[in-house]
């Protein structure tokens, strides 16, 4: 088997791979932003050129998703982890209850933060089988303030194929599958996503919120946690993460150019190639239920765990990086986000086949 010697195939779960054209444009802007003679990372966030970047980033999100009037798009700091608190601060009434579905580590962390502010009801969980599936046939109480889900679970490799039916407000953490396929964003009251999987580098988090849901809890909210304040200040209540927003804007341009249907087609093709090999290869097996397999994070283990070190060395020889699984699952995890070219997946599949020939 011919090994690639120069290119590193980056299967990291996050920060994840970015389109090469975006990396090139961003690197040029670090040296000279918009022919200003200044680096992107030293211009004022109040400079008209950067304010144009922020406006374009927000408008691209609206255009790509087809958002109607009445929704705001924010680029904030603190990662998705801060959203675990911002969501209940802004949407959970002190006397109300929020519903949560527990599908893994990040969903559970979101629950823990919400519990500090009010009542929560965990209406379904996959914890009984170490989060290897997505709970089905969810019945959500109508009277809850919102239902929170995590649409893709990076650690376990599961993903919602269909959103739960509920009469209440639906809130989603889409950090690891945002912009990976077309969605009807109007089914959600609020969506949040850390940029560092499919949209940009670590440092900013995108929030989409329906405006008329805000300001109804009667709760006093710290300024930095108040969505309404960030909306009124166009995501610049404080100094925004200039570089992360700029790279996100460049990536959103790339997403718009391809279109979400084409991105979904590519993601399905990559995932099918890899899952088919996992199912065929006598050395490996999938780590979660087939019907709930993620298109973003492919988790698998070895049928002979004693060969893991040997396979890891084989991966290194092929310049494959970031494939080690999370410690709570073990095995391996191939994160194949939007910018991952199918050629890198083909290299991984070739390595798996070659390893089987020599060790099977």
* List 5, 115, 136, 173, catalytic entry: 173
Assigned domain for 179 exists:
yes
Please tell me whether residues 247 and 302 are part of one structural domain.
Answer: no
In this structure, is residue 318 part of a structural domain? Answer: yes
Q: Which of 106, 210, 270, 292 is catalytic?
A: 106
In the prediction, which pLDDT does 47 show?
Answer: 83
- For residue 3, pLDDT beyond 50: no
197 counts as catalytic = yes
Same domain, 226 and 153: yes
Residues 316 and 330 in one domain: yes
pLDDT at res. 6: 61
338 and 233 belong to one structural domain: no
CATH number at 41 reads 3.40.640.10
What are 328-339's pLDDT values in tens digits? 788 999 999 999
Instruction: Please report, for the domain that includes residue 277, its CATH number.
Output: 3.90.1150.10
Tell me the per-residue pLDDT of 168-184, one tens digit each, with 9 for 90 and over: 999 999 999 999 999 99
* Same domain (yes/no): 252, 342: no
> Does residue 126 fall inside a structural domain?
yes
Is 254 one of the catalytic residues? no
Q: Assess whether 288 and 157 both reside in one domain.
A: no
228: annotated active-site residue: no
Domain shared by 184 and 310, yes or no? no
Residue 360 has pLDDT above 80, yes or no: no
The pTM for the full model equals 0.95
Rounded to whole angstroms, the Cα distance separating 247 from 242 reads 9
Let me know whether 178 and 277 are in one domain.
no
Catalytic residue among 145, 177, 197, 292: 197
Query: Of 221, 240, 258, which residue sits at a domain end?
Result: 258
Above 80 in pLDDT, residue 7? Answer: yes
Kindly state whether residues 80 and 228 are assigned to the same domain.
yes
Question: Is residue 168, in this structure, part of any structural domain at all?
Answer: yes
| Domain shared by 251 and 263, yes or no | no
Instruction: For residue range 75-103, list pLDDT tens digits in order.
Output: 999 999 999 999 999 999 999 999 999 99
Per-residue confidence band for 204, with pLDDT thresholds at 50, 70 and 90: very high
Q: What is the pLDDT of residue 1?
A: 43
**Number of folded domains that form the chain:** 2
List the domain range (segments joined by +) for residue 291: 259-359
């Amino acid at each position: 088997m011919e090994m690639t010697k120069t290119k590193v195939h980056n299967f990291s779960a996050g920060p994840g791979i970015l389109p090469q054209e975006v990396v090139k444009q961003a690197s040029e802007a670090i040296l000279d932003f918009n022919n200003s003679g200044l680096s992107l990372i030293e211009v004022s966030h109040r400079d008209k050129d950067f304010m144009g970047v922020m406006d374009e980033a927000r408008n691209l999100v609206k255009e790509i998703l087809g958002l109607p009037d009445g929704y705001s798009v924010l680029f904030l700091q603190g990662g998705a982890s801060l959203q675990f608190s911002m969501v209940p601060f802004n949407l959970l009434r002190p006397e109300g209850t929020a519903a949560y579905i527990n599908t893994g580590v990040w969903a559970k962390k979101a629950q823990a933060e919400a519990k500090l502010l009010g009542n929560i009801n965990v209406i379904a969980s996959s914890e009984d089988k170490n989060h290897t599936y997505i709970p089905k046939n969810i019945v959500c109480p109508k009277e809850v303030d919102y239902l929170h889900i995590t649409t893709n679970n990076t650690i376990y490799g599961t993903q919602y194929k269909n959103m739960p039916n509920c009469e209440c407000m639906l809130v989603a953490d889409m950090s690891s599958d945002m912009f990976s396929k077309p969605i009807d964003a109007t089914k959600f009251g609020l969506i949040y996503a850390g940029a560092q999987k499919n949209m940009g580098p670590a440092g900013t988090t995108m929030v989409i919120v329906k405006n008329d849901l805000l300001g109804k809890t009667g709760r006093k909210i710290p300024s930095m946690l108040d969505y309404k304040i960030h909306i009124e200040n166009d995501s610049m209540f404080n100094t925004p993460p200039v570089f992360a927003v700029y790279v996100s804007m460049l990536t959103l341009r790339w997403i718009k150019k391809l279109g979400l249907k084409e991105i979904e087609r590519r993601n399905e093709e990559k995932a099918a190639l890899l899952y088919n090999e996992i199912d065929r290869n006598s050395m490996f097996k999938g780590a979660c239920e087939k019907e709930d397999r993620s298109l973003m994070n492919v988790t698998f283990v070895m049928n002979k765990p004693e060969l893991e070190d040997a396979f890891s060395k084989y991966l290194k020889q092929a310049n494959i990086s970031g494939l080690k699984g999370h410690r709570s699952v073990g095995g391996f995890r191939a994160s194949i986000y939007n910018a991952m070219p199918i050629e890198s997946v083909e290299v991984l599949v070739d390595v798996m086949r070659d390893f089987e020939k020599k060790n099977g």
